[in-house]
């Protein structure tokens, strides 16, 4: 009986041993690094002392004018404004101040910051580190889609920041965020790179963020994210937070995007994005098996006479890299192409029928193009009305819808608002974006007929 119990126990042991796991252990002889003497302190002071004078404090002043019209949404309607003309026109002026940061990029006073830091400013004041003088800055140009802007002060021999190739940034790199949070003065926080190529966050239209856990708080916007060598890898832009304070999820615009956009803003005052001429989609796990388990941007359509069509790209091709940069999603391709200026020649690697091919494409301009069912005109973002929207709103009219309007735009000044439907321009009825594009082809002023909340009014734009 004892022998049987022993054999049973042995059998159990054998079965258990068969299913056991071998744990991987670190070597026992790993040494810790210590300062060589008690008089030695590990510090980045020499790196930070040099770069901190490249960071500036930015304060702006906005004059906000209000009256009876601004208190009631009905007064956005030109009909009501005309009917109540002379009533409630008592101006109420007040000033709004805000703080942000910026980075000096040239010795003669060019500074890069976030667009949201200076947006709508009547006055931009810059303070340099260690200099009590206030400098009035001039807006050189801005790009709302990436949240970047360039301003300039009249100064010389400034300490311009040194840029680093953001494509070489790696997760785990030690980084420092420099800025002026809460207006307390120069502040530096430390962290690591948590992720690269972050998109789909919903902060701006073109997103290719470096994510970091270095504390980025209000006022840090427009400041610098630098590596441990003191080189700029990004411009601090935003945080994710329920309370408004730092929770370890901050985002910076990568330095390569910054240099591309800032160069164009300095040279021409605006940034016009390049245009490839394809509609794209992500690749599902099942779909990737058709492309040797590769991921990228799947071409679902190619526009006639576009750069993509001229280069021979076709529906079904999978774009996997642009100029050597790996592309793993549709948004990554959009951001990459969107960071280039028109007429740039790019090298595109793609998969077709399980074969890798390479083609050089000369990019065109995005200006005046209808992309993904949207069109921009004089500060308006326009799109076609979907059948689902018509049914939801019980609409019986044809037209195109105003998705958004910039408050400082000509369209906003003419009384057009978000949600309006443009149904006619001069004598031409508008049913789609192509109709709108044809009706606005000339630069002359035109009568726009707008449908809003069951009524129709006209305005000139």
How many other C-beta atoms are found inside a 10 Å radius of the C-beta of residue 353? 9
Residue positions annotated with a catalytic role: 116, 147, 221
Residue 382's contacts (CB-CB under 8 Å, 6 or more residues apart) are 374, 375, 376, 400, 401, 402, 403, 422, 433, 436
Residue 262: exposure state from Cβ atoms within 10 A (0-12, 13-18, ≥19): buried
Q: Which two tokens stand for residue 289?
A: 């098996």
The rounded distance, in Å, linking the Cα atoms of 220 and 214 is 11
Q: How many CA atoms lie within 13 A of 337 on its CB side?
A: 26
Please give the Cα distance from 352 to 358 (Å, whole number). Answer: 10
Residue 201 burial by Cβ neighbours in a 10 Å radius (0-12, 13-18, 19+): middle
Distance, CA of 453 to CA of 460 (rounded, Å): 20
**Nearest-CA neighbor of 277 among 254, 256, 306, 253?**
306
Residue from 278, 235, 227 nearest 256 by CA: 235
- Helix residue ranges per DSSP H, 134-238: none
| DSSP-assigned letters across all residues of 220-288 | -TT-EEEETTS-EEEEEEEE--SSSS--S-EEEEEHHHHHHHHHHHHHHSS-PPEE--EEEE---HHHH
**Cβ contact 56:111 at 8 Å:** yes
- Alpha-carbon span 57 to 64, nearest angstrom: 23
Alpha helices in 101-199 (DSSP H): 115-118
Helix, coil or strand: residue 413? helix
Q: Alpha-carbon distance 379 to 406, whole Å?
A: 5
Beta bridge partners of 106: none
Q: Could you give the C-alpha distances from 212 to 44, 236, 237, 459, in angstroms and in order?
A: 18, 10, 11, 47
Q: Which of 371, 392, 453, 387 has the alpha carbon at shortest distance from 420? A: 453
């Amino acid at each position: 009986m004892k022998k049987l119990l022993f054999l049973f126990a042995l059998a159990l042991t054998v079965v258990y041993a068969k299913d056991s796991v071998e744990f991987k252990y670190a070597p026992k002889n790993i040494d810790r690094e210590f300062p060589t003497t008690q008089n030695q302190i590990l510090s980045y002071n020499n790196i930070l002392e040099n770069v901190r004078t490249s960071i500036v404090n930015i304060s702006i002043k906005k004059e906000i004018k209000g009256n009876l019209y601004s208190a009631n949404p009905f007064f956005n309607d030109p009909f009501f404004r005309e009917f109540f003309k002379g009533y409630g026109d008592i101006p109420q002026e007040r000033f709004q101040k805000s703080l942000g940061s910026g980075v000096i990029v040239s010795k003669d006073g060019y500074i890069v910051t976030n667009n949201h830091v200076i947006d709508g400013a009547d006055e931009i004041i810059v303070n340099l580190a260690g200099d009590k003088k206030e400098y009035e800055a001039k807006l050189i140009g801005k790009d709302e889609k990436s949240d970047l802007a360039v301003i300039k002060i009249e100064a010389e021999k400034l300490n311009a920041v040194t840029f680093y190739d953001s494509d070489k940034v790696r997760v785990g790199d030690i980084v420092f965020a420099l800025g002026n949070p809460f207006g307390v003065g120069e502040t530096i926080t430390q962290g690591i790179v948590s992720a690269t190529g972050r998109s789909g966050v919903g902060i701006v239209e073109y997103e290719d963020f470096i994510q970091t856990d270095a504390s980025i708080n209000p006022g840090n916007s427009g400041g610098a994210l630098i590596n441990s060598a003191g080189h700029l890898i990004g411009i601090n832009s935003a945080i994710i937070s329920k309370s408004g304070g730092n929770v370890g999820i901050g985002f910076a615009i990568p330095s390569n995007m910054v240099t591309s956009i800032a160069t164009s803003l300095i040279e021409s005052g605006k940034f016009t994005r390049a245009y490839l001429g394809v509609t794209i989609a992500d690749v599902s796990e099942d779909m990737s098996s058709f492309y040797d388990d590769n991921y990228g941007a799947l071409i679902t359509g190619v526009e006639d006479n576009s750069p993509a069509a001229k280069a021979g790209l076709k529906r079904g091709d999978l774009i996997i890299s642009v100029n050597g940069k790996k592309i793993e999603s549709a948004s990554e391709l959009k951001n990459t192409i969107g960071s280039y200026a028109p007429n740039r020649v790019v090298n595109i690697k793609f998969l077709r029928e399980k074969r890798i091919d390479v083609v050089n494409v000369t990019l065109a301009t995005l200006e005046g193009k209808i992309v993904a069912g949207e069109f921009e005109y004089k500060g308006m973002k326009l799109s076609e009305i979907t059948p689902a929207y018509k049914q939801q709103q019980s609409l019986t009219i044809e037209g195109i819808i105003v998705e958004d309007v910039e408050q400082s735009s000509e369209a906003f000044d003419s009384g057009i608002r978000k949600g309006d439907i443009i149904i006619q321009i001069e004598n031409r009825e508008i049913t789609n974006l192509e109709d709108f594009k044809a009706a606005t082809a000339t630069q002359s002023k035109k009568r726009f007929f707008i449908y809003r909340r069951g009524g129709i009014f006209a305005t000139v734009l």
